[in-house]
């Protein structure tokens, strides 16, 4: 017991050292808790929204997307597809607002109209609006003219639009940029599909430049849709699937193999799991398929 007590006997110098050590430990603990209470305030201030900086970020993102994308040609923004909207740097919500507006049979006739409908930021609008190409009559709508004349011009513009599914090669050749080969290719692609169901399918014609498609859609659009017998993706053979212009034979084989291994395909989203499936065209492909 005497030896045990000897361990707790300290001289004055040792007691001072122990006191200072305890003081330092307590001071460090107090400083730690004080810093923890200050940090949240600093973090909250660091994440305050700055609209000006956000606009700059949107602009830079759009510029990078344009650099990485295909060359952009003048186009009519009324006919922007999901894919082209993505390439131009538009968000899904902005593209959907335009498509919903167009479903009502309405058109945007200026960059200002485009921004009002899509609610796109100024930075992105300034980047893509130089490529906008509207019909000539929209540029003259502010010039002094008789109201009857303006009405006639609009009516004439509407009457010029013909059905893309009944257009002949001779009619298509009248479009600047479409010659003998391209007009024949358009008709051949249309016949293989059984007819166009949406205007955007014109972009899928091999060799047809986007700006030529835009000009074509100013004169021809899908007015009368054909009756299509959809292919059941869960029962169709490789040969039946390959008849669809969008599916190559090896992709059709992959679909059948996937079906044999995994059973019934329950949604079109599953097709993204299939190797080499052209998922960027799924919106058009599923028009011809049934589950």
Query: Is the CB of residue 18 less than 8 Å from the CB of residue 10?
Result: yes
Contacts of 170 by beta carbon, 8 Å cutoff, 6+ apart: 183
Q: pTM of the full predicted structure?
A: 0.45
In this structure, the dihedral spanned by the alpha carbons of residues 87, 92, 95 and 100, taken in order and rounded to 10 degrees, is: 160
Query: Is the CB of residue 274 less than 8 Å from the CB of residue 258?
Result: yes
Alpha-carbon distance 104 to 59, whole Å? 30
- The predicted pLDDT at position 201 comes to 85
- Domains of the chain and CATH, by start: 72-159 (no CATH), 161-221 (1.10.150.320), 231-290 (1.10.150)
Instruction: Provide mean pLDDT across the span 191-211.
Output: 85
Alpha-carbon distance 194 to 226, whole Å? 7
pLDDT tens-digit map of 50-98: 666 776 676 666 656 555 544 566 778 887 777 777 777 788 888 888 8
Residue 71 carries which DSSP code? P
pLDDT at 139 over 60: no
pLDDT tens-digit map of 233-253: 888 888 888 888 788 888 888
Dihedral (CA of 268, 270, 275, 279) sign: positive
Report the mean per-residue pLDDT for the chain: 76
| Integer angstrom CA distances of residue 98 from 47, 80, 90, 131, 177 | 32, 8, 11, 17, 27
- The predicted pLDDT at position 121 comes to 86
pLDDT band for 8, please (50, 70, 90 cuts): low
Dihedral (CA of 65, 67, 70, 76) sign: positive
pLDDT at 26 over 60: yes
What is the phi/psi pair of residue 7, to 5°? -70, -20
**Residues forming beta bridges with residue 289, ordered by sequence position:** 231
């Amino acid at each position: 017991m005497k030896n045990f007590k000897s361990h707790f006997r300290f001289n004055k110098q040792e007691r001072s050292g122990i006191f200072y050590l305890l003081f330092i430990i307590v001071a460090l603990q107090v400083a730690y808790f004080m810093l923890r209470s200050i940090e949240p305030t600093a973090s909250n201030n660091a994440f305050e929204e700055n609209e000006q900086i956000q606009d700059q970020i949107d602009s830079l993102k759009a510029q990078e997307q344009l650099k990485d994308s295909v060359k952009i040609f003048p186009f009519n923004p009324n006919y922007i597809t999901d894919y082209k909207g993505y390439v131009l740097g538009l968000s899904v919500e902005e593209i959907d607002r335009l498509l919903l507006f167009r479903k009502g049979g309405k058109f945007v006739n200026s960059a200002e109209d485009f921004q009002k409908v899509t609610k796109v930021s100024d930075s992105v609008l300034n980047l893509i609006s130089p490529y906008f190409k509207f019909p000539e009559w929209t540029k003259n709508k502010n010039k002094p003219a008789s109201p009857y004349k303006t009405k006639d011009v609009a009516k004439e513009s509407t009457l010029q639009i013909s059905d893309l599914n009944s257009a002949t090669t001779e009619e298509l050749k009248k479009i600047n940029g479409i010659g003998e080969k391209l007009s024949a290719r358009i008709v051949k692609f249309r016949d293989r599909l059984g007819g166009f169901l949406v205007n955007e399918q014109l972009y899928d014609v091999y060799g047809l430049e986007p700006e030529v498609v835009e000009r074509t859609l100013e004169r021809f659009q899908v007015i009368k849709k054909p009756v299509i017998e959809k292919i059941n993706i869960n029962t169709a053979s490789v040969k039946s699937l390959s008849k669809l212009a969008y599916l190559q034979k090896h992709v059709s084989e992959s679909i059948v193999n996937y079906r044999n291994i995994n059973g019934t395909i329950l949604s079109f989203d599953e097709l993204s799991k299939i190797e080499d499936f052209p998922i960027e065209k799924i919106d058009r492909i599923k028009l011809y398929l049934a589950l």
